[in-house]
Amino acid sequence: MSARTEATRHKLFAATLELAESRGLVGITVDEIASAAGVAKGTVYYNFGSKDALVDALLRYGVDLLAQRLRSSTEERDPVDGLESLVDATLEFISRYPGFSQILVSELWRTPGQWHETLTLLREEIITIIKQQLGRIEAAGRLPAGVQVPVAAAGLFGTLLVVALDWQVFQPERTRAEVRESVMLLARGLAKQLPDEGQR
């Protein structure tokens, strides 16, 4: 893909996100996306073929960015530190791309629509990364007995999305570090049958 084509696609992604923030994905049209991006309507069709294909590509692009950040954040030697880095990377991503995160929240849990299949696959990609990190904590003997890692991973993913958007919309005066620590209090509670910090 040429740099020019990639730049055009990103411009269309940005326009779609801007429109979707206030109206959701379903209600926006190709004409509106093209106008917001400052391109001809045919440019949308040339690059994607349809609005649905554009949205599908946007969802895959955004989740790929998030997944890259999460994978690089889990390299801490201590698995709980790695989980904290994962939480922080998610919060940083959502603060940088609030429109994309709003789409994830609104589309993931509504009645299945056009992008449900894509979102299901993308959700699984992110949750798998979280499951792997929780699995590291479990392998270190630092999860309470009876915790089901797949359920805990899905719960943490949902918590992060909702808490981060609540932060952006209702508590923007809070720092990312403060929000991260609030989430980590919950996460450490999940893994609280750990040695104290000084005993690691």
Burial class (CB in 10 A: 0-12, 13-18, 19+), 26: middle
E strands within the chain? Answer: none
Residue that has been written with the tokens 């709003």 in this structure? 102
- The ranges assigned to domains in the chain are 1-49, 51-194
CATH H-level, domain 1-49: superfamily: Homeodomain-like (1.10.10.60)
Same CATH fold assignment for domains 1-49 and 51-194:
no
What 3-state class would DSSP assign to 170?
helix
**Are 196 and 142 a contacting pair, CB within 8 Å?**
no
Q: The domain 51-194: what is its CATH number? A: 1.10.357.10
pLDDT tens per residue, range 152-179: 999 999 888 889 889 988 999 999 999 9
Q: Given this model, what pLDDT does residue 112 score?
A: 66
pLDDT tens per residue, range 14-55: 899 888 877 777 789 999 999 999 999 999 999 999 998 998
Consecutive H or E run containing 167 = helix 149-170
Burial class (CB in 10 A: 0-12, 13-18, 19+), 15: buried
Q: What's the whole-model pTM score?
A: 0.82
